[in-house]
Amino acid sequence: MNGSLSPLRSGRVLLVVAAVALLPAPALAYLEPGTGSLLLQVIAGTIAAALVAARLWWERLQFLFRRFRRGGGSAPSTPPPPPPAAGDDTTGPPPADRT
C-alpha cells in the first residue's frame, strides 16, 4: 500500500472521530444566568450581520444587472427630449426685465 486510506476506510475513521467528539463529558463548571443572555446577543448579532451582508450583496448584484441591462440593446421606455434649436437658450432662468 502507498500509505493512503481508502475512501471507505477514511469515512469510517471520520465517523469514529466524530462519535468520540460528540460523547458527553462531565463539565465541572457553573454557568451563571448572564451566560444565556450573552449567547442570545451573539446569535442576534450574527443574524443581523448576515442580513446586512446579504442586503449589501443583493444591492451590488442588482446594480450589476441594471448596468448590463442599460448597456444592452433594449430601448428606453421614454425617448430622450429633443436637443434645443440653435440660438435657443432655454436652459437657464428667463432674463430679468430691466426697464
Q: Which three cell numbers stand for residue 24?
A: 458527553
Q: Which pLDDT score is estimated for 25?
A: 80
Which residues lie closer than 8 Å to 43 by C-beta, 6 or more apart? none
Q: Which pLDDT score is estimated for 42?
A: 96
| Domain ranges for the chain | 34-70
Cell 448584484 locates to: 61
Q: Is the pTM of this model over 0.75?
A: no
pLDDT, tens digit, for every residue of 33-89? 888 899 999 999 999 999 999 999 998 888 888 877 776 545 556 666 777 666 665
Give 14-22's long-range contacts (Cβ < 8 A, gap of 24+).
Answer: none
Cell 435657443 locates to: 88
pLDDT, tens digit, for every residue of 3-22? 566 766 777 888 888 888 88
Q: How far is CA 94 from CA 56, 87, 90, 97, in A?
A: 45, 14, 8, 9
